[in-house]
Amino acid sequence: MRPSLLGLLRVVYVVSAALLMTTVLPRLGVPVPFVPDLVLIGVVSSAVLRGPVHGALVGLAAGWVLELVPPVGAPMGLLALTLMLAGAVAGSFRRTSAGSWLRPLVALVVAGVLVLTGRAASAVLAEGGLDLTAALATLTATIGAGLIVLPVLVAVDRALVRRRLG
Amino acid sequence: MSNQSKPRLLGLLLVATLVVLVGDLSGHPAADAIRSAAGTVVGPAQRFLAGVRPAQVAQLSAENAELRAEADRLSRQLHVQSQLEELVGAGVVTGRTAVIGQVVASEVSAVGGRSLTLDVGSHDGVVVDSTVVSAAGLVGRVVAVAPWTCDVQLLGAAQSLVAVRVGERGLLGTVAPVPVGGGDDSTQLALTLAQPGNPHVGDRVTTLGSVGGRPYAPGITLGRVVSVDPDRGRDTVTGRVVPAVDRESIDVVAVLIPEARAQPRPVVGDRTGEEPRVG
């Protein structure tokens, strides 16, 4: 794999997003259910521009980063698989022509629901119960953050590709 | 990246992920190693981002422990204070010279009854045969005095004998521990009246008092009559008394310092109204 500025930025974004989600935002007093899934937003932004295979790959890698940032998920790897699926699904929203602003958002909503389902399933399996309100709060927070962050990420991605830095 | 290598890489990573997932689910030690490695690598960054420094943590936890100890001390003090207020409010120390003490040790005696150690002693004015009372009533008497502590023989200990008055009529009698084999309830005390009389169940039993208030000051509640033995032609009336003080939970007590009378009592009229003083 050829290292590129875009690749480096992706890694930086995913790692800082994971740290933001696990440490900084809760520390700043954001209630845990309202912490947006910033990693998922990054995965979706990359996937909608390049397709399902790329989305799955980025999702899997980003999922592992998020998984390994303590607290490490249990069972380990499930989150990575969920994000891989979410990335693949988001990638299927790709369109070769310049997409509308709405398309990445729809992909984010679908991917968000997918991740939510995966987490709910693992919660039901592990704890025998599910806090539906908290899950919906997370989804709402993710979509809300996506409204701002996703267009920015997509624009940056496109600009870097246009300048042959991706 | 070529179009072929991407799916291959994805497949490889997917297989690795599944291996880790299954390994973790089956409890393989490697999973824990990955966890601890991740914590070792990312942990410092998280700590930095959370704004917590190790020294700060140590300082804060030390401070926390200190405050907790302080809170415990204060709540203990509050407890003592409330018991003290109860003691003073009950009126047992009113008009008497008293030293407030606290139980610092207790010992179960093999021959029955118990003895306590209080944190007041001869330096506080406690002398042998001082009466010990709590808010509820009579606790016992001081049997040994050290400079800063004293030992108390509890009511109902072997060989303790208290002269009492029973009920409103003030029947005279004595209260002693129930003789061995004489009863099933160890918390009860045996009452023996000095002369014929008919005490009732529920009658208040108070101390009669001794000369100079040693070993028992007069008029202190000792307990209540719970049963009167049936009269089967015996000379003496006997019964059972339950102490007013719960022996298990004695804490803050007052030691009544006996004061010998120095002044002769003034003669009142023809002296018919004088209360008899029996020791």
Question: How is B32-85 classified by DSSP, letter by letter?
Answer: HHHHHHHHHHHHHHHHHHHT--HHHHHHHHHHHHHHHHHHHHHHHHHHHHHHHH
How far apart CA A118 and CA A109 sit, in angstroms, is: 14
Return the CATH number at A109: 1.10.1760
Residue B115 is assigned to a structural domain of this protein? yes
Per-residue pLDDT, B68: 94
Structural domain range at position B39:
5-50
Residues B124 and B14 placed together within one structural domain of the fold: no
Residues B112 and B220 placed together within one structural domain of the fold: yes
Distance from the Cα of A105 to chain B's closest Cα (Å) equals: 25
Residue A166: pLDDT over 70: no
As a whole number, the mean pLDDT across chain A is: 85
Tally of domains within chain A = 1
Residues B106 and B224 placed together within one structural domain of the fold: yes
Residue B81: pLDDT over 80: yes
Distance from the Cα of A92 to chain B's closest Cα (Å) equals: 15
Residues B129 and B209 placed together within one structural domain of the fold: yes
Which of A57, A70, A76 is nearest residue B42 as measured by Cβ atoms?
A70
Structural domain range at position A143:
5-162
Residue A29: pLDDT over 60: yes
Per-residue pLDDT, B189: 86
Do residues B98 and B126 lie in contact, with contact meaning Cβ atoms separated by under 8 Å?
no
**Residue A18 token pair:** 């994971």
At position B45, the amino acid (one-letter code) is A
Tally of domains within chain B = 2
Q: Is A50 touching B (CB cutoff 8 A)? A: no
Residues B134 and B243 placed together within one structural domain of the fold: yes
pTM here?
0.51
Give the sign of the dihedral formed by CA B154, CA B157, CA B159, CA B161: positive
Which of B10, B34, B46 is nearest residue A23 as measured by Cβ atoms?
B46
Residue B270 is assigned to a structural domain of this protein? no
> Which 3 state secondary structure label does DSSP give B162?
strand
Residue B72: pLDDT over 90: yes
How far apart CA A60 and CA A63 sit, in angstroms, is: 5
Residue B85 is assigned to a structural domain of this protein? no
A110-132 pLDDT, tens digit each = 999 998 888 888 778 777 777 78
Residue B217 is assigned to a structural domain of this protein? yes
Residues B33 and B150 placed together within one structural domain of the fold: no
Return the CATH number at B226: 2.40.10.340
Residues B212 and B144 placed together within one structural domain of the fold: yes
CA B153 from chain center: how many Å? 15
Residue B107 is assigned to a structural domain of this protein? yes
Q: Give the residue among B104, B153, B144, B146 at the shortest CA–CA distance from B124.
A: B146
Give the sign of the dihedral formed by CA B15, CA B18, CA B23, CA B26: negative
Residue B192 is assigned to a structural domain of this protein? yes
Per-residue pLDDT, A106: 87
Q: Is A78 touching B (CB cutoff 8 A)? A: yes
Residue B178 is assigned to a structural domain of this protein? yes
